[in-house]
Every structure is written in structure tokens, then in C-alpha cells.
Chain A
Amino acid sequence: MKNEGCFQRLTMENIQTSENIKPPANRWLRRVKKIKSNMAGLIGVIIITGLIFIAVTADFISPYSYKEQDLDIMNSPPSMDHFMGTDEFGRDVFSRILHGSRISVYVGVVSVGLSVFIGVILGALAGYYGGWLDQCLSIVTDLTWSMPEILVALLLVAVVGAGIECVIIAIALTYWAQYARLIRGQILMLKNEIYVEATRSLGATDFTILFKHLFPNAIAPVIVAATIGIGQAIVLEATLGFLGMGAQPPMPSWGAMMSNGTAYLFISPWVIVFPGLAMMITVFGFNLFGDALVDIMDIREDTLK
């Protein structure tokens, strides 16, 4: 029995040697095992775990406070004391990057979580019931999909206002349609399967069929897209911050740090270089992990487009 999933054909031989049949291992457990053999995925996991660790422990591991100003050492280059240099107020860039990871992780996870929540529910209902809900959803998803994210997000930030909560809402509203599209396609494909009919004939309600039976089978591509989406959301947050519409000072966010740093690009480039590197590594990690998930969860690549 090679890698044929958890189904085993019930032939006479199988029944006769039934003591040889092991119950299929939990599929999530199998997936966890699989990631160990995936080098790129492993790097992704390490980066993401590191990021979360930094975000949680930023207060303890950062050498300086993120808002403490020391005007004697304004714009000083990387040195033994401040190995990523200091910014225009003499604040330690390294400590600010560590603290800035909090906003990135927070915005990335919460905004993507929110958009997955909205998208998955609407998409699943649209795929399952069809009709006018599906029509409306198709129009909205087509429209938002062809609009550049940054434009949609900019408009939405203009509507809901600047500040971190507003940025989260704007990003969630920018991204939800893509998850709705994904799950809708999956549900459409799965809802005519025989096991659905069987469950229905046993008297299951629509709700049970949709959320207990179809859902676990349809969610894998959404998880992959959401993983990569967190990386994209972090970049979007930073871009909005760079344009002056993100978190408000003195909260350090990577985007805002770079935005302030532009004025001092020629004097103290380290203020811009290091937050950007931090962000690049982060996004890189989420992308590697997402790509690895495609293999681990046996998803066909074209379902993701």
C-alpha cells in the first residue's frame, strides 16, 4: 500500500488479512511528519517560529527601549553598542525592529484571519447554495481581484481612517474575496461527490454537510493561500505605513520606520536597510512554508490560481 491516502479498497484479500490493515494515521500527523523531510519548508517554519518568538519576547530580549531617545547619538552608524545603528532621535534601530515585529505579526495574522473567516463563510455558502449569492459574490471577487491591492487598501484606509485597527480592517476587506473564490471552487467540485449524497440520505442537514463533511476536505488550499497571504499582508501593512497611513508613532512598525528613514537616506541608510531586511526574511519564510504546504497537503497547483 503506497501513498494512496486513507482509503483502502475492500477486496476479499484485504478482508481476509484484515489484521494487517492499520487504521490510517491522522492526516494532520502525517503532514507534520512530511515537513521534516522538506528542506525549504523547514527553513520557513524556523523563520516563522523565530519571528513569533521575537514578537512575544521583544520586551525582554531587546537591548534598549524602543522609544528612549538619546540625542547625543543621533544617526550613529552600526557599532558595538548599537549594532544596527541609531535613528534620527538616537533610538536603537535593532530594538525598534524587534518591537516592530509585533505590529507585523499582529496585523498579518489578524487581518488574514479575519479575511479568511469572512471569505470562507461567504464562499462556502455561495458554492453550496449557488443562486443570487453566488452571482453577487462572483461580481465582487472579479472586481477586487483585478484591482491592485494597494489601491483598494488605500481607498479603504481613507474610508475607515488611519491607525492599526483600521489598517487591519482595510487589509481584511482587500483580501477576503480571494479566499471566498478558492473555497467556492472547492465546494462546487466536492458537493456532487457520492459521500455527500450518502450523508444527505442519512438525514444530515445542509449545515452538517457543509461544515462537517465538505469543509475539512475543502480547506487545504485556503490554508496554503492564507500562509502566503500573511506575508503579503505584512508587506501591505508596511507599504501603507510607508505612505503614512499605518501605525501611529511612537509605536515602531517596519513600514513607518522606513518612511521616517527616507528623509535620512543619505546620512543613515541603516535605518532603512535593516527593517527592510527583516521584512524580506519574514515574507520569505511565509512563502517557503506556503510552497512547502502545497507539497505536504497534496494540493494540485492549479487550484490555487
Chain B
Amino acid sequence: MWQFVLRRCLLMIPIFVVVSIIIFSLIHIVPGTPIDNLIGPGMTKAHEQQLVEKYDLDKPIPIQYFIWFKKMLHGDLGRSIIEKRPVTELLLHHLPYSLSLGLTAIVLSFVLGVSMGIISAAAKNTIFDHLAMLVALFGVTIPAFWLGLILILIFAVWLPWFPISGSGTLMSLVLPAITVGLGGAGLIARVTRVSMLEVASKDFIVMLHAKGLGKKAILLKHILRNALIPVITILGLRIGWVLGGTVTIEIVFGRPGLGQLLITGLFRRDYPVIQGAMLVLAMGIMMGTFLADILYAFTDPRVRDQHN
């Protein structure tokens, strides 16, 4: 088992390198340079040249990449060209806001989604089932940023229960977390329902019924436990989806997270910031899929044995 974990860990290294190359090269295809934003009136060509050299923008792109990668291994992601602060410092400042929002949203979508899935599967084809699935479908179809705006309108403007924006208190986390979490909850509810119904039709469940085990015990102990395996996989694979969701939602709620850093970076063409933010987001996604794989191996003996 540990061998599997180790091997999976090692696999992340080449993926990381490839991702970093893609991010780097994509950004450098963008027409225009960050220097364009820095040039003010009264600046000479010599000044411009000096700036270009300072940020290594005159070197070929592969060389720029190697310089960047080498520095990154030492924890140095360069300096923001516009804000003139180290990117690592900026990232560390913004990361906690995204992390808290992302984690709350994931927990929320898991709890909400699995509960809706259980209700739906247990009461198949009843009004509860249809209702839960309708909510799930809405969760998937509602554009997240619009939901965020509507929640602000209802629960912050009309009913002043939560702050409109900001990030200081725990209360300010509620609305954004619901906004991001609802989409994930819809997806998880649908997967849980399908998976539970599939497990429920297996022979060993029939056997448990025949043995006289209570319905509740079968549902929660046997069906749910087996049905959760694909749910965990989906959750892990969709961590990226949650992170993507936080990017827009941070703009809606004015949370100073990675998303806001990334979007302002994109508008100002601040290369080091974009690269840093994208890299951190990509690493979050990689960690998500990694955790999902490991959890998957732990929960499913068939996968575990395959690797032993």
C-alpha cells in the first residue's frame, strides 16, 4: 500500500513540470507585455530597455522558463511587476481566503449532496426524490456568479443577516460557501443517488434483507458505504471545479483570494503573479486528484490488493 502511495507521489513530479511549462508558455504567447502598463509619460527608450532587462523579458522564452523554474525551486516566484512585491508574499496573503472558502464549500457540497442523494435513493420515485433531484438539477444549472448576486440581494440587502462583502468574519464566509457549494452538491447528489440504487440491486443486499436486517441499517451501513466510493472519486476529481468556482465567486463577494489576485493579474498582464496564482491553483487540483486516488485505494479493497 505504501508503495502505491509513494509511486503516486512520484508521478506528481512530471505532471507538475508539464503543468508549469504549459502555464508559462501560454502566458508568454499573450500579446503585449507588462511593461506597457508601467510606461508613463516622460519615460525614455532607455528606461524601457532597463525594465525589460530587469525582468529578463529580452531573453528567449525557454531561457526565461528555466530561470523561473530554478528560482521557483528555491521558493522564489519572482516579484510582481505592478505591485513590486514578492509573488510568494502576495500568494501567502491571498491563499487563506481561498483555502477557507474552498474547504467550506467542499464540505458543504459533500454533506448536502450526500444527504440529498440518500433521501432521493431511499424514497425513489416519490415526491421527495423528484424534489431533491430538481434541487440538484438547479444546483448544476444555476450560473454560480448569478446565484451569488441573488443571495447577496436576498440575505444581505433585503434581510440584513449577512455582510454584503468582505472577508473578516465567519459570517462573511456563509454566502460565498453556499454559492460555490451548491453546484458541487447538485452533482454529488446525482452521483450518490445513481450509485446507491446500483448497490441496492446487488445480490448481497437482497441477502441482507433475507437475513432480516433492518432497512435503516442496510441503507446506511451497507448500501451507503459501498455507494460512496464513486462519490469520493468524483469529489476528488472535481476539487478543481470547486477551485474554479471560487475564482468567480471571490470577485462577486469581494474576497481578496487567489481568484481576485489572478483576475487583476490577467488584466494588468502581471506575468509573475498570473504564473504564481495559476501554479498554486494547479497544485491544489493535483493534490485533490492525489487524495482521491489514495482514498479510493483505501476504501476499495480491490484497488488496494491490486497494488500489493
The residues in B between 1 and 49 inclusive whose CB is less than 8 angstroms from any CB of A are 18-19, 22-23, 26-27, 29-31
Separation in Å of the A78 CB from the closest CB of chain B?
Answer: 15
0/1 interface trace, chain B 263-284, chain A, CB 8 Å (1 if under): 1001100000010001001100
Asked whether A150 lies within 8 Å of B285 as measured between CB atoms, the reply is: no
Give residues in B with beta carbon < 8 Å to A.
18-19, 22-23, 26-27, 29-31, 137-138, 140-146, 149-150, 152-153, 157, 194, 237, 240-241, 243-245, 247-248, 251-252, 262-263, 266-267, 274, 278, 281-282, 285-286, 289
Q: A148-B244, A149-B244, A151-B278 are in contact. Are A243 and B251 (CB under 8 A)?
A: yes
Name 18 A/B residue pairs within 8 A (Cβ), A-sorted.
A145-B237, A147-B285, A148-B241, A151-B278, A156-B26, A158-B27, A159-B27, A161-B31, A238-B146, A239-B143, A243-B248, A266-B157, A272-B146, A280-B141, A280-B142, A280-B146, A283-B141, A283-B142
Contact A159 B149 (CB under 8 A): no
- Is B149 within 8 A of A265, CB to CB? yes
A97: CB under 8 A from chain B? no
Q: Tell me, in angstroms, the Cα distance from A281 to B266 when the chains sit together.
A: 31
Task: Kindly state whether residue A269 has any CB partner on chain B within 8 Å.
Answer: yes
From 274 to 293 in chain A, residues with beta carbon under 8 angstroms from any chain B beta carbon are 276, 279-280, 283-284, 287
CB distance from B232 to the nearest CB of A (A): 14
Measured in the bound complex, the distance between the Cα atoms of B147 and A258 in whole Å is 12
Report how far A151 CA is from B22 CA in the complex, Å. 13
Is A48 close to B, CB under 8 A? no
With A148-B245, A284-B141, A287-B137 known as contacts, the answer to whether A276 contacts B22 (CB < 8 A) is no
Binary per-residue interface labels of chain A (112-144) against chain B in the complex, 1 for a CB within 8 Å, 0 otherwise: 000000000000000000000000000100010
Pairwise interchain contact A265-B157, C-beta atoms closer than 8 A: yes
Is there an interface contact between B278 and A276, defined as CB atoms closer than 8 Å? no
Q: Are the C-beta atoms of A265 and B152 separated by less than 8 Å? A: yes
- A242 within 8 A of partner (CB): yes
Asked if A16 is at the interface of the complex by the 8 Å CB criterion, the answer is: no
The answer to whether B137 touches A154 (Cβ under 8 A) is no
Q: With an 8 A cutoff between CB atoms, is A273 at the interface?
A: yes
Tell me whether A279 and B143 are in contact (CB under 8 A): yes
A279's nearest neighbour on chain B, judged by CB, is B143
| Contact B285–A148 (Cβ < 8 Å) | yes
User: How far is A104 from B159 in the complex, measured between Cα atoms in Å?
Assistant: 33
Q: How far is the CB of A254 from chain B (nearest CB, A)?
A: 9
Would A258 and B145 count as touching, CB distance under 8 A? Answer: yes
Of all chain B residues, which has the CB nearest A258? B146
- Given A155-B27, A161-B31, A239-B143, are A273 and B150 neighbors across the interface (CB < 8 Å)? yes
Contact assessment for B281 and A235 in the assembled complex, using a CB-CB cutoff below 8 Å = no
Within 8 Å CB of A244, what residues of B?
Answer: 267
Within 8 Å by CB of B149, from A272, A279, A284, lies A272
Q: Which residues of A contact B (CB under 8 A)?
A: 139, 143, 145-151, 154-156, 158-159, 161, 231, 235, 238-239, 242-244, 258, 262, 265-266, 269, 272-273, 276, 279-280, 283-284, 287, 301
Contact in complex: B157, A276 (CB < 8 Å): no
A159 touches B29 (CB 8 A): yes
Q: Are B240 and A146 in contact (CB under 8 A)?
A: yes
**Known contacts A146-B237, A147-B240, A155-B278: A280-B143 contact under CB 8 Å:** yes
Measured between alpha carbons, how far is A279 from B149 in the docked complex, in Å? 14
Give Cα distance in the complex from A129 to B278, angstroms: 35
How far is it, in angstroms, between the C-alpha of A143 and the C-alpha of B237 when the chains are bound? 11
Q: Which residue of A lies closest to B240 (CB)?
A: A148
CB distance from B51 to the nearest CB of A (A): 21
**Complex contacts, B278 vs chain A, CB 8 Å:** 151, 155
Q: Which residue of A lies closest to B22 (CB)?
A: A143
Contacts of A273 in B (CB 8 A): 150, 153
Residues in A whose Cβ lies below 8 Å from that of B266 = 154, 158
For residue A259, which residue of chain B has the nearest CB?
B145
Docked complex Cα distance between A283 and B139 (Å): 11
Q: Which residues on the B side are within 8 Å of A158 (C-beta)?
A: 27, 30, 266, 274
Q: What residues of B have a CB within 8 angstroms of the CB of A143 in the complex? A: 18-19, 22
Chain A residue nearest in CB terms to B146: A276
Please name all residues of chain A whose beta carbon is closer than 8 Å to the beta carbon of B23 when the two chains form the complex: 155
Given contacts A148-B244, A280-B146, contact A159 B141 (CB under 8 A): no
Other than the given A273-B150, A280-B146, 18 more pairs (CB < 8 A) read: A145-B237, A147-B240, A148-B240, A151-B244, A151-B281, A155-B26, A155-B27, A158-B30, A159-B29, A238-B143, A272-B153, A276-B149, A276-B150, A280-B138, A280-B142, A284-B137, A284-B138, A287-B140
Complex: how many Å from CA A145 to CA B238? 10
Q: In the complex the two chains form, is A150's CB within 8 Å of B244's CB?
A: yes
Report the minimum CB–CB distance from A155 to chain B (whole Å).
Answer: 5
Given A143-B19, A147-B282, A276-B146, also A159-B30 (CB < 8 A): yes
